[in-house]
């Protein structure tokens, strides 16, 4: 695990609202370093340097990386004005969205109906641009011991907080109360997290970097094989899958 560089990315449609955090295990803790690459090219250069050092890379992305299978099936042949005879949630939500709601108690945004779809599209474009610069594919990976030099997973910071039994709302704004909430969350996570340089103060002051740090935490749960595994792998490979800590026990294949 020490040879894997984890990069958590709080995704958005433009770089001014994207957070990036780097994580690696030092002395048993996940050490976080917050950096703010100003562009996809800048992030790609960091990735390339790590690959050149022989490190594997895992990107943990806070954005949907696929759409509901039923959405494509029902819209492909749809004609304007015709009824669509399917329940709205089945049309607009993925299997993973329903799974996380049922197991964790946290409802993600509907990539088939909400503005998060724009973030999803932008994130897929970032992945594609990174692939061009580093000259290799960045596939979704499905096992903690993935064989690829670089891969990516989808994560959901609020669900990760919920799985850890921590506050998962009311921490994103820069009000006094919500800044204090961030401090409380980090204090609770202190047995797992450490920070390089001034990274802790930076992420406390910027919610995008805070969520990027939670993306790193979720990635390490994945690398420890301590996340819920897809109930239907083929469907997950089509729609995407949110990797979130298994709060029930230490075995992921449920």
Return the closest-CA partner of residue 160 out of 192, 197, 200.
192
Count the neighbouring beta carbons within 10 Å of the beta carbon of residue 206.
Answer: 18
pTM summary value = 0.93
- Residue 250: is its pLDDT beyond 50? no
Query: Looking at 67-76, 200-209, 239-248, which range is the least confident one?
Result: 67-76
Residue spans of the domains in the chain: they are: 4-66+115-233
Tens of pLDDT, residues 93-115: 999 999 999 999 999 988 877 78
**Mean pLDDT across the stretch 13-42?**
89
Buried b (16+ CB within 10 A) or exposed e, 121-146: ebbbebbeebeeebeeebebbbebeb
Mean pLDDT of the chain: 91
Tens of pLDDT, residues 149-190: 999 999 999 999 999 999 999 999 989 999 999 999 999 999
Fold category of 4-66+115-233 in CATH:
Nucleotidyltransferase; domain 5 (3.30.420)
**Mean pLDDT across the stretch 226-251?**
91
DSSP string, 11-50: --SSGGG-EEEEEEEETTEEEEEEE--SSHHHHHHHHHHH
Rg (CA), the chain: 18
DSSP string, 118-160: HHHHHHHHHHHHHHHHHTS---B--STT--SSEEEEE--HHHH
């Amino acid at each position: 695990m020490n040879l894997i560089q984890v990069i958590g990315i709080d995704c958005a449609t433009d770089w001014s609202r994207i957070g990036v955090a780097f994580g690696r295990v030092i002395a048993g803790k996940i050490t976080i370093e917050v950096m703010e690459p100003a562009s996809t090219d800048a992030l790609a250069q960091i990735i390339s340097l790590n690959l050149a050092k022989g490190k594997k890379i895992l990107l943990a992305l806070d954005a949907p990386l696929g759409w509901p299978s039923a959405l494509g099936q029902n819209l492909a042949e749809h004609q304007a004005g015709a009824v669509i005879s399917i329940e709205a949630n089945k049309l607009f939500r993925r299997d993973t969205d329903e799974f996380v709601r049922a197991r964790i108690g946290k409802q993600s945004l509907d990539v088939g109906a909400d503005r998060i779809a724009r973030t999803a599209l932008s994130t897929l474009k970032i992945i594609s641009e990174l692939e061009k610069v580093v000259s290799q594919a960045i596939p979704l990976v499905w096992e903690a011991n993935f064989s690829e030099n670089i891969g990516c997973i989808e994560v959901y910071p609020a669900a990760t907080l919920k799985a850890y039994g921590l506050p998962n709302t009311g921490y994103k704004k820069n009000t006094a109360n919500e800044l204090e909430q961030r401090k409380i969350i980090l204090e609770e996570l202190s047995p797992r997290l450490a920070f390089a340089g001034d990274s802790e103060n930076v992420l406390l002051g910027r919610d995008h970097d805070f969520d990027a740090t939670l993306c790193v935490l979720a990635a390490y749960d994945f690398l420890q094989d301590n996340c819920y595994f897809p109930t239907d792998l083929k469907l997950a490979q089509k729609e995407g899958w949110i990797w979130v800590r298994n709060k029930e026990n230490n075995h992921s294949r449920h």
